[in-house]
Amino acid sequence: MKTKIKKCRYCGKPLHSRTDFCSDACAMAYEQALRRDTPKIKFFTAGIILGIGIMLWGVFSGRSPVTGAGIGLLGATVLLLPFATPETVRLLGYRKSRALGRLLGLLLAAVGLWVGFF
Ligand SMILES: [Zn+2]
Domain ranges across the chain: 40-117
Expressed in angstroms and rounded, the spacing between residue 27 Cα and the centre of ligand 1 is: 7
Expressed in angstroms and rounded, the spacing between residue 72 Cα and the centre of ligand 1 is: 33
Q: Residue 82 — φ and ψ, nearest 5°?
A: -80, 85
Give the chain's count of helices (H) and strands (E): 5, 0
Expressed in angstroms and rounded, the spacing between residue 98 Cα and the centre of ligand 1 is: 15
CB-count exposure of residue 84 (10 Å: 0-12, 13-18, 19+): buried
pLDDT in tens, 22-74: 999 999 999 998 888 888 888 999 999 999 999 999 999 999 999 999 999 99
Q: What is the pTM of this model?
A: 0.74
Provide the residue type at 21 as one letter.
F
Residues with CB under 5 A from ligand 1 (ion): 8, 10-11, 13, 22, 26
